[in-house]
Structure formats: structure tokens, C-alpha cells
Amino acid sequence: MLSCRDLEYKVGSFHLKGFSLELQKGDYCALLGPSGSGKTIILELIAGLRTLKKGSIIIDGRDCTRMPPQHRPVGILFQDYALFPHMSVYENIAWPLKIRKMKKNDIKGMVENFASDLDIQRHLDRMPESLSGGEKQRVALARTLVIHPKVLLLDEPLSALDAPLRDQSALLLKKVSLTGITILHVTHDQAEVISLANRQMRWNLSAPNLHLKS
Amino acid sequence: MDFFIFALKRKMMFLRKNNTTTRLVFLFLSGILLLFIAAPLLGLFFSTSLPDLFETIKDPQVQESIGLTMGVSALFTLLAGFFALPLAYIMARKEFWGKAFIQGLIDLPIVLPHSAAGIAILGFISRDSALGRLAQMLGLNLVGSPFAIGLAMAFVSVPFLINAARDGFQAVPERLEQAARSLGASPFRVFRQISLPLAKPSVITGLVLMFARGMSEFGAVVIVAYHPMTTPVLIFDRFNSYGLDYARPVAVLFIIICILVFMMLRLLGRKKKKI
């Protein structure tokens, strides 16, 4: 499903070299590494937000290496959620569907479905700034999932949440993974992915040896 | 006497303790500066009689010049926006070789003497220039036209728009643009639906500043077009030909109109907040 081969990327003093990864459909892979090891950059490379120097990225059998981000079948959940502050929760979730020129009624139906799945239907008219961290995350997740990505990239999705919310959110991610979507979850905290991931991978830029556990 | 000195010392200590001295000095200096701005304007208003002002409002030459000034400045501000916003966006988002030089070039009209800017524009549109020759082939003379006035206004005022919009775009987190790209939007859609709406208050401030600066321009405009007269040129012309008393009501009227227009634009540009 997701195949990254020998990725190489350089920005400033950061140099990523020889990063490879193979994930099957439905895999939940945790990419573990300390802060500053370039985990987020790897996600951005897969999403096409940065341009690779070398290597290839193949998603669902299609070579996406030079594909612009808007055409990649990838959804990304940022650590700070990146909700559009000038749009309501409803407009945030509906926005990617509007881009795809879907009919107004279909958009409404889909937004309401996802909102009820993620338990945010009562917040649809609110503005993002008035939401709590957990609510923001669920809105961002709904906005990403609504486009049915083949691969979901999660950037430290649990680290900014308080303990009770973290468990709730982990449960939600588990539920999402059961839909068969391939997930790559980057984190510095191994404990948070123990119950979630079926595969783990350690990444350290200073010693770029990968240890894959299945 | 001793008691008096003692009381004064205590008062000084009290002032120092409460930081009151600094506050008083700052207030005094600020007051002087505010007075420096307000006094000449108030003097101008008080020395103009209402009948004179009404007479000026009815003066067709004044009406025409105000219409020309505001119309040309508004049109060229909007036209400049088409070019200035992409440039401002590039300056906010991209790092490239020679960026500091480009920023210097953008700021250049602010530091140039405006009469020199007028001479430069005149050279650009005169009959000897390529643009002037092209216009002449079409039977147009650019020198002394509203087009020349607009160019002169835009030349001196466009840095205000570019810089304000650049600051606005810079304040939009790049993360939001990245999120929008990954949700399926093209770079142009991201600009139109994410970056521009979020930078809107700064862009409107820039447009208002450019419009205001263009409207009040005298030095560059008077060189490229004495006629048709913009209001700043008309004020100068009346002062030069008839003296202060004839120039003053036009100046007062123009100031009132400027203040009204800017209050209106500020109100329109105020961000509506949803909860």
C-alpha cells in the first residue's frame, strides 16, 4: 500500500538519507524517534509537502514521487490540527468536498455522518478557536477522513492531549484503523502506541538504522 | 524653609517610588507631539468660515478635482492590487537569492524625493519613450492625462500596499496552507480561499493606505500632469495664484472628505467575528 524507497532529503543542517518503509493495507505502523529526528519531515515528504532529493514513494501501486500533494491519496493530521480559523467546524469538514465539486446535499450528508461518527455533531456551527484540544483533533480527523485517503499520516496525535482525552483519542484512532486504512503514526512516546500499532519502527537521524518489529 | 525642603524631598521620593515622574514626562512629550499634529489642522478649520466652505463645495472646479483625485486613486489602487498581492505573497513565503535587493526596490519610492519620482514617470510616458510612442500611434498623449496621474500616484504609494499585505501573509501559519494542499487544493485555491481571507485585514489596511497616499500625492503628480488638476495641485494652484484665503477652504473640504472616506473604509474592513 505504502512503499518508500531510499528517501533522501536535505534542508539546512538536516540530512535524511536511506529511509525505506513498506506498509500493507490496514497496517498501523508507529514510527518512533526522539524530538528533532525528522519524523515530521518524513510525513511531509510522503504527503508531498516537501520535494524529495532522491528515492521513490509508491502509494496503492501508483508512483507518487513527483505528484503534487493535492493529487496524492494521503491524509495528514498535523500536531496542531491546522483547522482553518475563518471557517466554522461544518465549513472546515465540508471544504475538501467543495473542492471536489460535490453537490451541496451530498456534502451535508457526508459531513453529518462523519460528525456523528466522531461525536462532534453538536459543534458544527462553532468556530475552531472555541473548541477544546480533543474536539479540535476530532474535527481535523473528520476533515481528513472525509476525502477517504488510502494512507493516513498522524503527527504526534496524542502528545498534546491530557491523560483522559488521550485514552479516548487512542480508542478513536483504533476505530479508524479498523476501517482498513493504512496508518503511519509518528511519536516520541512508545507507550502511547503499544495498544494501537501492529508494527513499530525506530528512527534516529544520528544512527539511521531501522529496527522493524511486527 | 526647612519644612518646605523636607516636604519637597518627600514628594520627590513619592514620585520616584510610584514611577510617576517617568509617566508625567512621557505624557508631556506625547501631548506636545499630538498638539503639533492637531494644532495646524484645528487652526485650518477655525480660520475657515462656513459660508466659504459651502461656496467651495458648490465650486465645479473643486468638485471635478475631488472626483478626479479619488476616482483615479481608487482605480489605480485596485489595479495595483492585482500585481501587488502576488508579489507580497512571494515576499512573505519564498526565500530566494536577491530577496533583500527586491525588498529595497519595493521600498525605494518611499525614500525618493517625490518630484524626482515624477521626473522618472514623465520620462517613462513622454513622447520619446516606447510607451509614449505607442500611445501616440493610437492618438493619445499620456503626459497630462489621468493615466499619468494614476501612474504617479501608484508609484509613490504602492509600497504601502505591498508591505502591509506581505506582513499579513507572513502572519498566516504555513501549516494551514499545507493542510489545505493535502486536502486537495491547488496552490491558487489555497491562496484564494485560505491565505487571502486570513490576511484580509492587513490587505485592506494596505489598500486604504495606498489609496490615501495616492490621493494626497502632490510632488510626483504636479510634474506629470498640472492639468487636469487633482485636489492637492488645485490647493497649490489657488495658493500660488490667489493666496492663503482661497486655498484654505479647498484644503479643509479635502481633509473632511479624506477623513470621512477613511472612517468608512475602516468600518467596512473591520473583521466580523463569529462565535
Q: What is the pLDDT of residues B237-263, one digit of tens each?
A: 999 999 999 999 999 999 999 999 888
- The model scores a pTM over 0.90: no
Q: Which CATH number does B50-269 carry?
A: 1.10.3720.10
Domains of chain A: residue spans and CATH: 2-213 (3.40.50.300)
Chain A partners within 8 Å of B193 (Cβ): 95
Nearest to A24 by CA among A177, A211, A187: A177
Residue B273 pLDDT grade (very low, low, confident, very high; cuts 50, 70, 90): very low
Q: What is the pLDDT of residue B122?
A: 94
Specify the pLDDT at position A166.
82
Could you tell me if B149 and B214 are in contact, meaning their C-beta atoms sit under 8 angstroms apart? no
pLDDT band at residue B18, thresholds of 50, 70 and 90? low
- Strand order of the β-sheet with A28-32 is A74-77, A151-155, A182-187, A28-32, A199-202, A211-213
What pLDDT score does B17 carry? 64
Task: State whether ipTM is beyond 0.95.
Answer: no
- The predicted model gives B146-168 an average pLDDT of 96
Helix (H) or strand (E) holding A18, with range, is strand A14-23
Q: Please give the pLDDT value at position B182.
A: 94
Span of A123-127, B106-110, B127-131 with lowest mean pLDDT: B127-131
CB under 8 Å to B114, separation ≥6 — which residues?
A: B156, B217, B218, B219, B220
Report how far residue B54's alpha carbon sits from residue B67's, in angstroms, rounded to the nearest whole number: 17
Spans of all domains in chain B: 50-269
Of B175, B194, B275, the CB nearest to A130: B275
Which residues in chain A have their CB less than 8 angstroms from residue B275's CB? Answer: 126-127, 130
Cell numbers that stand for A130 in this block = 472555541
What's the Cα-to-Cα distance from A31 to each of A44, A183, B264, rounded to whole Å? 14, 10, 55
Residue B274 binned pLDDT confidence (cut-offs 50, 70, 90):
very low
| Greater model confidence, B148 or B270 | B148
Own/partner contacts of A99-106, CB < 8 Å, gap of 24 or more, are A99/B183, A99/B184, A99/B185, A99/B189, A100/A147, A100/B184
Residues of chain A below pLDDT 50 = 207-209, 211, 213-214
Higher pLDDT among residues A189 and B24, named by residue: B24
**Chain B interface test: which of A49, A79, A81, A93 (most B C-beta within 10 Å):** A49
pLDDT reported for residue B38: 94
B230 exposed, middle or buried (CB, 10 Å; 0-12, 13-18, 19+)?
A: buried
Q: Which residue of A has its CA nearest to B275?
A: A127
Residue B235 clears pLDDT 80, i.e. is over it: yes
pLDDT of residue A156: 87
What single string gives the DSSP state of each residue in A195-208?
TT-SEEEE--SSS-
Q: How many CB atoms lie within 10 A of CB B42?
A: 11
CA separation for the pair A89, A121 (Å, rounded)? 9
